[in-house]
Amino acid sequence: MQRCLVTGGAGFIGSHLSERLLELGHEVTILDDLSTGRRENLNHIENHPRLKIRTGSITDPVLLADVMTKVDVIYHMAAAVGVKLVADDPVRTIQTNIYPTEELLRLAVQRKQRVFIASTSEVYGKNPKERWTEEDDLVFGPTSRPRWAYGCSKAIDEFLALAFHRKFGLPVVIGRFFNVVGPRQVGHYGMVIPRFVDSAMNGGPIVVYDDGQQVRCFGHVREVVDAVIGLVETPAAHGLVYNIGSDFPITIQKLAEEIIQRVDPAVKLQFLPYRDAYGDDFEDVRRRVPDVSRLEKMLGRKPTMTLGAILDDIIRWKREQLSASAKS
């Protein structure tokens, strides 16, 4: 049994990770300020005897040091996330995503703890390559455009984590997540699948930004958290960055059509320029596809769930939510 701390454990990925760690027999402490996470994500595990939930912020150094005592492994998932939130509040993004990570890494070195750092495909910025490998260049836009603050803040976390690994031998793994999706993800912060499914269930239209020809890959959260735990538990994997997610590309228009076909074929698509959704200084990344061979080589597997199976799982969960709220 390991004693695990999951920062951001009430969030979408963090709640699935916490659930999986409990299933594997570990002890879990969650630290979350419930800013974008939700307490109901933990409803089904909240009374688990090996789970502790602490409500508070990773930006509070006293609290962070306290929850990090008597812990073997730290999964650092808490962050200011979502394209919209980050574009609206770049100061909060930087304060949440950089300083607490440095503090956490410093304490983990002293206490000889293993660490997982959640990073993002956003660190590749506008790199025009077809498939991104972990050693590719990071190509950000100008600092006058706040949307790059998110990717840059996570890139600094990566530099910090790698520096602590080189200098002090900290056993750390960095995962760059590519569009992780599944039950419990909500659409408030610009997440595309929950937004599309909600629109389709409400009769439409589904609003697609720009021309809908942007390319993304969608990985199921269960396969992603299994990869995260697998990397942390493999000593040879430590000290490196990994792309984590599906490597199956699909356009956003095709994604919307797949959802329409499953939910209600009468729903229409509507196209909206980015400027109307995010303001004049927004820049998007047209194509975001990972090369996951480093992950596959290290673990002997990669996420393989099909988009159809992933969408079925999300739609089933949404329908359950709707019928539960209709009954209450």
Ligand X SMILES: NC(=O)c1ccc[n+]([C@@H]2O[C@H](COP(=O)([O-])OP(=O)(O)OC[C@H]3O[C@@H](n4cnc5c(N)ncnc54)[C@H](O)[C@@H]3O)[C@@H](O)[C@H]2O)c1
- Binding track over 245-284 against ligand X, x by CB under 6 A: ----------------------------------------
Region binding ligand X by CB under 6 A among candidate stretches 75-83, 104-112, 262-270, 279-287: 75-83
- Binding track over 53-72 against ligand X, x by CB under 6 A: ----xxx-------------
Residues 238, 175: contact at Cβ < 8 Å?
Answer: no
Work out how close the CB of 96 gets to ligand X at its nearest, in angstroms, rounded to a whole number. 5
- Binding track over 5-24 against ligand X, x by CB under 6 A: --xx-xxxxx----------
CA 109 to CA 177: how far, in whole Å?
A: 24
Q: Which two tokens stand for residue 197?
A: 């499914």
Q: Is 127 in the site for ligand X (CB under 6 A)?
A: no
Q: Which listed residue (4, 107, 115, 118) binds ligand X by CB under 6 A?
A: 118
Residues 124, 150: contact at Cβ < 8 Å?
Answer: no
Q: Is 96 in the site for ligand X (CB under 6 A)?
A: yes
Region binding ligand X by CB under 6 A among candidate stretches 43-51, 108-116, 175-183, 257-265: 175-183
Region binding ligand X by CB under 6 A among candidate stretches 25-33, 208-216, 260-268, 292-300: 25-33
- The torsion of the CA quartet 195, 197, 201, 207, rounded to 10 degrees, works out to 50
Spatial CA neighbour of 140 closest among 127, 157, 129, 128: 127
Work out how close the CB of 30 gets to ligand X at its nearest, in angstroms, rounded to a whole number. 9
75 is catalytic: no
Region binding ligand X by CB under 6 A among candidate stretches 3-11, 164-172, 247-255, 312-320: 3-11
Integer CA distances (angstroms), 323 to 194, 317, 318, 328, in order: 17, 10, 9, 9
Work out how close the CB of 104 gets to ligand X at its nearest, in angstroms, rounded to a whole number. 11
- Which residues neighbour 202 within 8 Å (Cβ) at sequence distance 6 or greater? none
Q: What are phi and psi of 195, to 5 degrees?
A: -65, -45
CA 196 to CA 185: how far, in whole Å?
A: 12
Hey, which residues are catalytic here? 150
